[in-house]
Structure 1
């Protein structure tokens, strides 16, 4: 074994508990004990998907390479809005101040990625190792080409579960939050995008992965359009810095959802005879050649609804997509290219994907799967492009949920604040 390799116990022990040193989660000894005639040991059930880790094993890692200051080529000719520029400057200041954590609260479509570029360049030029992590693979896949274009001379590692390429050390890493479990005190500057998204939000395993992947003196940034109460409480207590941008970069208001009541939507929409209001809505969309992204509460119901749509409009291109769909990326690309009239989806496309000119329909928006943050993100798929900055968002329901109401109020509040601050063109 190389003398450079550092050897660490796989698990640490207290009187009645053990801690996994890969994911930093604690467990009751009695619950994770494995005992047989040959040996006795503890294991970690939290990160078992990465292979079972046992208390009599060891973890090995290579110390981080010593990086020096260098010139980092930067290729971005875009122009930040006044609000974006303010947050961009706050992030570069954050790299040199005494704070260790900063929350960027910016509405959907605000241009959060563009606000990061200058701080990433500064961090890399200082010799820092930089990581951008997101809970969703789709977000990582969309981020990678955009970041690579801005830093054309920088080798970037893109890491996610199905990635087959051999890992190579790079100063800039884009990965899913699960991949952070593979890093130990690696990052000087770590950015967690979509921090409110599943499966990161409220997940001690992934929160521990973030802590473990950071160097002792490091900088952590959280990005979100819908911060949790926990994060906002930390801001109020002064435990982290805070930036808020209530407007999109193109200075147009956020589309406000329209509530459409349909009693027993689960059964009625699967029949071949529809209420006139819903049929008129679809006919209007097709007549005006408006592409639609339709969110459905589960895969089984979505596939049934797709067959109904194909029966009613056999000449339209109607597709569905979900997390286990092997052709997901291909269908998303077709949608981006304007080749699809209607794309049905689960919440897998609630964030991290951008379509140029679409309207959004949420079927059963009062279903439990649609939390407040989810509905805000879904509504945020509309009007993101500066040329196509308007569009419609429809919530079909059979009873307004608290999450629907909260999402509506959040969107309206941001619009009002943006108007008050002069960030919207009326």
Structure 2
């Protein structure tokens, strides 16, 4: 097991291969197995155990699509789409904290200006791999001192905030593949006190990666329902 994303990291895979004793075995634990591994499972060539539900027995939140221009265009115009602001306010009204993922670090500061103008009185911060204060900001976000955190995919995994919603801007960007979209969506609905959460993929195009991410999540929910893993309150909804 490791504490770093294995996906798209050939160096980590090489190190793992070298660390395995002759005749040893690899056990992969992943919420987003790569396509070649999924094909091996479907063909019956790879033994596996599938866990399609979280501990609280509620289905995984399925992302909704919000059509909007690219972030770059919004920054040029100096305003955010009304539909996006309305959706963010809905999350804030239900006292959720918001992960707002963007594709480019360079857009974060200017996006913060537009968000603070559109949502006055709300504590909004941004962070990335280049931010020396990111650890403190994530801690403040966990303590509910920050309501909306603009971030890159550095927070797509390993961070759990009990009552959170997820927005992915430019979800059709080529930097966001199916696996990363599933990981980002997975920040919502993790707590037994707020198991449903909300996930929004905001983009101009509804592309293959977004469709694939939604299909993966729906498949897990379908299996959980079929196996009887969902609790009674969840199945009533």
| TM-score, structure 1 normalization | 0.51
Decide whether aligned partners of structure 1 residues 237 and 411 sit closer, same or farther in structure 2, where only a CA change above 3 A counts.
closer
Decide whether aligned partners of structure 1 residues 237 and 283 sit closer, same or farther in structure 2, where only a CA change above 3 A counts.
closer
Q: Which residue of 2 aligns with 1:338?
A: 144
1:404 paired residue among 200, 210, 217: 210
Q: Which residue of 2 aligns with 1:192?
A: none
Instruction: Verify: 1:220 aligned to 2:26, yes or no.
Output: yes
2:168 paired residue among 359, 362, 367: 362
User: What is the alpha-carbon distance in structure 2 between the residues aligned to residue 237 and residue 312 of structure 1?
Assistant: 51
> What is the Cα-based RMSD across aligned positions, in Å?
2.0
1:318 paired residue among 118, 124, 137: 124
Q: Which residue of 2 aligns with 1:378?
A: 184
- How much has 1:361 moved relative to structure 2? 0.6
Q: Secondary structure at the match of 1:304?
A: helix
Which stretches in structure 2 are left out of the alignment for 5+ residues? none
User: What is the alpha-carbon distance in structure 2 between the residues aligned to residue 220 and residue 324 of structure 1?
Assistant: 34
User: Larger % of helix: which?
Assistant: 2
**Per-residue CA distance 1:19-51 (angstroms, 9 max, x = gap):** xxxxxxxxxxxxxxxxxxxxxxxxxxxxxxxxx
Decide whether aligned partners of structure 1 residues 236 and 257 sit closer, same or farther in structure 2, where only a CA change above 3 A counts.
closer
- How much has 1:375 moved relative to structure 2? 0.7
Q: Which residue of 1 aligns with 2:156?
A: 350
User: What is the alpha-carbon distance in structure 1 between the residues aligned to residue 19 and residue 179 of structure 2?
Assistant: 27
Decide whether aligned partners of structure 1 residues 307 and 280 sit closer, same or farther in structure 2, where only a CA change above 3 A counts.
same
User: What is the alpha-carbon distance in structure 1 between the residues aligned to residue 80 and residue 131 of structure 2?
Assistant: 29
- How much has 1:234 moved relative to structure 2? 4.3
Decide whether aligned partners of structure 1 residues 252 and 368 sit closer, same or farther in structure 2, where only a CA change above 3 A counts.
same
User: What is the alpha-carbon distance in structure 1 between the residues aligned to residue 87 and residue 76 of structure 2?
Assistant: 16
Which contiguous aligned blocks of 4+ residues in structure 1 show a shift greater than 6 angstroms? none
User: What is the alpha-carbon distance in structure 2 between the residues aligned to residue 247 and residue 255 of structure 1?
Assistant: 11
Give the number of aligned pairs: 232
Q: Secondary structure at the match of 2:126?
A: strand
Q: Secondary structure at the match of 1:247?
A: coil
**Per-residue CA distance 1:38-85 (angstroms, 9 max, x = gap):** xxxxxxxxxxxxxxxxxxxxxxxxxxxxxxxxxxxxxxxxxxxxxxxx
Decide whether aligned partners of structure 1 residues 307 and 274 sit closer, same or farther in structure 2, where only a CA change above 3 A counts.
closer
User: What is the alpha-carbon distance in structure 1 between the residues aligned to residue 220 and residue 42 of structure 2?
Assistant: 19
User: What is the alpha-carbon distance in structure 2 between the residues aligned to residue 291 and residue 400 of structure 1?
Assistant: 25
User: What is the alpha-carbon distance in structure 1 between the residues aligned to residue 70 and residue 131 of structure 2?
Assistant: 28
User: What is the alpha-carbon distance in structure 1 between the residues aligned to residue 172 and residue 117 of structure 2?
Assistant: 27
- How much has 1:308 moved relative to structure 2? 1.4
2:134 paired residue among 322, 328, 344: 328
Which stretches in structure 1 are left out of the alignment for 5+ residues? 1-131, 137-194
Contact map agreement 1:295 1:346 (CA 8 A) in 2: yes
Q: Secondary structure at the match of 1:309?
A: helix
Q: Secondary structure at the match of 1:134?
A: coil
Q: Which residue of 1 aligns with 2:2?
A: 133
Contact map agreement 2:75 2:110 (CA 8 A) in 1: no
**Per-residue CA distance 1:69-106 (angstroms, 9 max, x = gap):** xxxxxxxxxxxxxxxxxxxxxxxxxxxxxxxxxxxxxx
Contact map agreement 1:270 1:308 (CA 8 A) in 2: no
Give 1:222-261 correspondences, 5 Å limit.
222-235=28-41, 240-261=46-67
User: What is the alpha-carbon distance in structure 2 between the residues aligned to residue 248 and residue 403 of structure 1?
Assistant: 23
User: What is the alpha-carbon distance in structure 1 between the residues aligned to residue 62 and residue 46 of structure 2?
Assistant: 31
Q: Secondary structure at the match of 1:245?
A: coil
Contact map agreement 2:85 2:118 (CA 8 A) in 1: no
